[in-house]
Structure 1
Amino acid sequence: MEVIDLRSFSNLWFWIALAVMWSTASHWVLGVPYDMVGRAARMGGESEADLEDMVRINVNRLLYIAAEAGLWITAIGTFMLAALCVAGFWFGVEFAQALFLLGFPMSLVGLLSLRSAHVIRARSLSGPDLRRRLTRHRIGVQAIGMVAIFITALWGMYQNMVVGPFGG
């Protein structure tokens, strides 16, 4: 077991999962691949209509889920994040710390997505206004991701360098 370290912050797979998670989150803006936004800006016409249709479908879906099950999703999500936070940072379970550092920032992305969906529907955004809103949303997701990766990296270095493999 000395050859394979199964702790979260010293495991390469954790860091790969973190990078893939944030790469995917910044590429899929409200469930729409971001390259469609650029293509709609360059080509217009059918590409613009495709973007607006996909955004409309995903915004309606997101707002429907929030209206029907939002309270339950919020309650269960908050409970899970609180349980991970307590298990990880109070009781020192490194796996729970890792899951919290993955889950908490993604919950912020979920709230940002819900807010963007509300704005898009309320203002009936289309064309350049829709693309601008999706770009702002993507920048917000990337900002959350940069802060989350920085904090996770700092905490991971602390765990690996100070606490060590046997809990200090």
Structure 2
Amino acid sequence: MTLTQILSQFFDLRSFSSLWYWLSLAAIWSMAAHWGLGVPYDQVRRAGRRGGAVAEDLHELVRLNVARILWLVGGHEVALTALGSFMLSSLVVIGFGFGIEFFQAVALILVPLSVVGALSLVRARQIAALIAAGRSSPDEVIRQLRRHRLYVRLIGTLALLVTGFWGMLQNIEMSVLN
């Protein structure tokens, strides 16, 4: 076996049979669950345990990140939703309608991540409303971030299950055809 053959087997471009796809998928969902609203979850846990200045620092970090998220969106929700819907529906149609595995794999990553993105925007608006009303405390922010992480983990778990089953079916189909 030549070096070229070894490398081409190692870097298989068929998505669902590629180790790199599954490692990337795991890393993406791990990071999505860890970095809720731009705040690392270990900092949320530490603030929940220690309280005091650590919780106040977390509260300020969340306030800054929420302001940044809302500034980035900047009232363009309709345009972003339309563009995102077009891109995601194109991926789904090309992938599943035409049976192209690479687009299926990308769609199975980006569709659930778009749900997480929408959830993050909703959570950012909720926290911003609490801050504007003066009802935002470090304990409330910690509670909001914990709830957000739970929802992201549930979405990620469901996405991993669906992707795993779909990938398994694709690999079985390829092995039967060959």
Quick check: TM above 0.5? Answer: yes
What does residue 127 of structure 1 align with?
A: 138
In structure 1, distance between residues paired with 2:93 and 2:164 = 20
> Shift of the alpha carbon at 1:165?
6.4
Deviating beyond 4 angstroms after TM superposition, the runs of 4 or more aligned structure 1 residues are 165-168
> Shift of the alpha carbon at 1:32?
0.3
**1:10-65 Cα distance to aligned partner (Å, 9 max, x none):** 00000000000000000001000011111112222221121011101111111122
What does residue 6 of structure 1 align with?
A: 13
TM-score (norm. length: structure 1): 0.92
Q: Find out whether 1:153 has 2:160 as its counterpart.
A: no
What does residue 52 of structure 1 align with?
A: 59
Number of aligned positions between the proteins: 167
What does residue 111 of structure 1 align with?
A: 118
In structure 2, distance between residues paired with 1:167 and 1:133 = 49
Unaligned runs of 5+ in 1: none
SS at match of 1:99: helix
What does residue 43 of structure 2 align with?
A: 36
The amino acid across from 1:24 in the alignment is M
In structure 2, distance between residues paired with 1:9 and 1:108 = 22
Q: Find out whether 1:78 has 2:85 as its counterpart.
A: yes
In structure 1, distance between residues paired with 2:144 and 2:21 = 32
CA pair 33-136 structure 1, distance change in 2 beyond 3 A: same
Q: Percent identity?
A: 47
Unaligned runs of 5+ in 2: none
In structure 2, distance between residues paired with 1:98 and 1:33 = 27
What does residue 24 of structure 1 align with?
A: 31
Range 71-80 or range 128-137, more displaced:
71-80
CA pair 81-166 structure 1, distance change in 2 beyond 3 A: farther
The amino acid across from 2:172 in the alignment is M
**Superposed CA RMSD:** 1.8
**Contact 2:58–2:138 (CA under 8 A) maintained in structure 1:** no
Q: Find out whether 1:137 has 2:137 as its counterpart.
A: no
